[in-house]
Amino acid sequence: VLMVSVSETSGAEQVLTADGASLKQRLKKTMYRRKILASSLVLPLGIFIFVTFLFPILLMLFRSVDNPIVYEGLPRVIGALEKWDGKDLPPEDAYAAMVVDLANARETKKIGRIASRLNFETSGVRSLFTSTARKAKKLSPPFKEALIKLNPKWGGREIWATVKLIGKPFTTVQYLAAVDMRYDVDGNIVMKSEERQIYLYIFGRTLWISLLVTALALLLGYPVAYLLATLPLKYSNILMIAVLLPFWTSLLVRTTSWIVLLQTNGVINDLLVWSGIISESTRIQMIYNQTGTIIAMTHILLPFMVLPLYSVMKTIPPSYTRAALSLGANKFTAFVRVYAPQTVPGIGAGSILVFILSVGYYITPALVGGRTGQLISNFIAFHMQKSLNWGLAAGLGVILLIGVLILYWAYSKIVGVDNMKLG
């Protein structure tokens, strides 16, 4: 029951509830409670997404610039090198600070981490620092002469320039290393020597293989999706089971199955030799190279192309094609000009899904890729697990993330995200 009262001060009408409260305020409180309830229902999902997705990305961003090892391990040296211009050798107090810090680092068992971190930038530094730390307590002033006599490398600017460069708590050297660049002795950014350039090539290989796998998945998946959408139900169900069957099989099993099929003495080569297409001496090398990576990845990612295509094709009315045929178009023209343009949203969804999965693929290239079929994800894993250069691994991961976002932005500008549909 509502009542209408006239305000004595303003003369404006105000709607009240049966208990005399303002209806506007009551609705406002009700909507507020509903927002709180909706937020509480969504909160667990938000926490889950933050912990499992956003937080690792933020941690990766931090790891790519975080550089505390040398800054905390050699504090006296870093302080002494602040005023060093880098043109000549550092003064005596820098050498004295180095002796004290190396002796302390060996006692606190930090010398291994410090030496390894510096060795990522300049080869040979690890052995220099560990051997000098063992004898640091036995050295006596003047320390500059003592260190150079102990090892002539202490008489070069490169070692001290590296210590000063890596002695900052935050640095961008990881991003330079991820694109095959570095700082020289004078602090200029230069390309690494040709024999040490690897990551730009690996990024290019990753992009090329991902695009090729996407194109092959589209070429193979489009006819399958078309059959799924147009065949009678009893046949399309059987075909759908064949498409979904790989999802019920372990990815590791599917990948190792390709090793059996593609190896030099495998099933495919045996069939080619048996049929006389190739001879015993000309068996094809299809494994542990790019060929094996492309074939296995295309097979594994094919369902991710078929399903978005099928979901869009299923919604296209067959009457459109029949209308085109009735107006004089042949089957090819009706397909190209009437049917195919309506499948563009499915093509976009399947292509971007397969491409993004390909860019970050790890298991299949690791098992069947060999030396020439490795992708950037395999090198990220190597630095995380083997070399323990987490900063470089994070830098590579950030560059890969930025590259994917740029490509997604370009796709949005050219094709349009609004035209991408999963059904």
Tell me which of 371 and 114 has the higher pLDDT. 114
Specify the amino acid at residue 299: H
pLDDT at 102: 93
Share of the chain above pLDDT 90, in %: 42
Closest CA to 160 of 81, 73, 79: 81
Reply yes or no on whether the pLDDT at 129 is more than 80.
yes
Distances (CA, A) of 354 to 210, 212, 214: 8, 11, 6
pLDDT band at residue 280 under the 50/70/90 scheme: confident
pLDDT band at residue 176 under the 50/70/90 scheme: very high
Where b means 16+ CB within 10 Å and e means fewer, 26-50 reads eeeeeeeeeeeeeeeeeeeeeeeee
Share of the chain above pLDDT 70, in %: 93
Reply yes or no on whether the pLDDT at 346 is more than 80.
yes
pLDDT at 354: 93
Reply yes or no on whether the pLDDT at 226 is more than 90.
yes
Reply yes or no on whether the pLDDT at 192 is more than 90.
no
Reply yes or no on whether the pLDDT at 110 is more than 70.
yes
pLDDT at 127: 92
What DSSP letter does each residue of 328-374 carry, written as one string? T--HHHHIIIIIGGGGHHHHHHHHHHHHHHHHT--HHHHHH-TTTS-
Computed over its alpha carbons, how large is the radius of gyration of the chain?
Answer: 32
Return d(Cα 244, Cα 170) in angstroms, integer: 48
Return d(Cα 227, Cα 224) in angstroms, integer: 5
In tens, the pLDDT along 234-249 reads 888 888 888 888 888 8
pLDDT at 415: 67
pTM for the full predicted model: 0.83
Reply yes or no on whether the pLDDT at 11 is more than 50.
no
Reply yes or no on whether the pLDDT at 369 is more than 50.
yes
Phi, psi (degrees; rounded to nearest 5) at 5: -125, 155
Return d(Cα 213, Cα 359) in angstroms, integer: 10
pLDDT at 5: 45
The overall average pLDDT reported for the chain is 87
